[in-house]
Amino acid sequence: MAEVLLTNIPEDLYRRLLARAAEHGRTVPAEVLQCVAEAAQGRRSPEAILAHADRFRARLRMPPVEDEMINEAKPEGRL
């Protein structure tokens, strides 16, 4: 397996990586690898993003957002 050595990481970036790693239950090197893997995947298609949102909404048992809901929320300052 290939290796990469990172040097001169700014302290604030390292702190954010450390916090993110703790949040995800990973080590800092594992979190860096996850970040690189996500970046290397490239941009997701709109269809993939919508499918992910649908799966997330289903887990939360939320109804789909419809245009009418958005239009009603706008005057209330919620969007």
pLDDT in tens, 14-46: 999 999 999 999 999 999 999 999 899 888 899
Name the pLDDT band for 69 (thresholds 50, 70, 90).
confident
The rounded distance, in Å, linking the Cα atoms of 27 and 19 is 10
Q: What is the pLDDT of residue 78?
A: 62
Predicted TM-score (pTM) of the model is 0.56
Residue partners of 53: CB distance under 8 A and separation at least 6: none
Six-digit token string for 42: 């490239």
Q: Comparing 65 with 67, which gets the higher pLDDT?
A: 67
